[in-house]
Chain A
Amino acid sequence: AQKVTQAQTEISVVEKEDVTLDCVYETRDTTYYLFWYKQPPSGELVFLIRRNSFDEQNEISGRYSWNFQKSTSSFNFTITASQVVDSAVYFCALSEEDDDMRFGAGTRLTVKP
């Protein structure tokens, strides 16, 4: 069975600090997809990234970066120079070949001014 673990329930940082959100997954499939989503206090869901299992290249998008390591089954998300607007709950998710998707429990990030 697939499983996604976000061990950090809550993280609090001060603005401009870098912060890494951890995501560890379990799967027996060789083909799968990993996702990150953001849910700000307003409640909407925002898609951040999708990465397939054959693409281990790290991704950078502005202040956001993602580190995918198959060797450790991790897909970590780093926010550089955090801002108050980054405060949200962040979800990691895994989708296997049968296309079912499982979410982690989420990490609540609070960025203080």
Chain B
Amino acid sequence: DSGVTQTPKHLITATGQRVTLRCSPRSGDLSVYWYQQSLDQGLQFLIQYYNGEERAKGNILERFSAQQFPDLHSELNLSSLELGDSALYFCASSDQETQYFGPGTRLLVL
């Protein structure tokens, strides 16, 4: 158990809808990362937050947004969902040396 939790584990929704994925980092970790893993695109880095501030941005679509709250949990919002957004979404937190991954949220867009 990495100490990073993600909810929900599975999510099935329809095209055009909006969903929110939640991530709780390990206690004490200030950094949160979001990644997307799909069959088409492989693993992609989406965005990183550090202590509530956006730190780095990867290949994140404009339809997607994220934030990190004062209690350090993070949410990834996906809107106007398309079939191609079906993927496994991982969250990770890190201390100075190591990243710790959550179990992922599997999103299926029908």
Question: Residues on A close to B: CB < 8 A?
Answer: 43-47, 50, 91, 93, 95, 98-103, 105-106
Contacts and interface: CB of A to CB of B under 8 A. Distances in A.
A99 B59 CA distance: 11
Interface of B: 2, 35, 42-45, 48, 55-59, 88, 90, 92, 97-101, 103-104
A47 B55 CA distance: 20
A47 B99 contact: yes
B42 A106 contact: yes
Most buried by B among A45, A93, A99, A106: A45
A62 B52 CA distance: 36
B33 to A, nearest CB: 9
A9 B104 CA distance: 24
B57 A91 contact: no
B77 to A, nearest CB: 20
B53 to A, nearest CB: 13
A98 B57 CA distance: 8
Contact of A44 (B44, B59, B99, B104): B104
B97 A50 contact: yes
B43 A91 contact: yes
Contacts of B56: 98-101
Q: Considering the complex of A and B, which 7 residue pairs feature the smallest CB-CB distances, nearest first?
A: A99-B56, A101-B45, A47-B99, A103-B43, A45-B101, A100-B58, A45-B90
Contact of A100 (B43, B57, B100, B104): B57
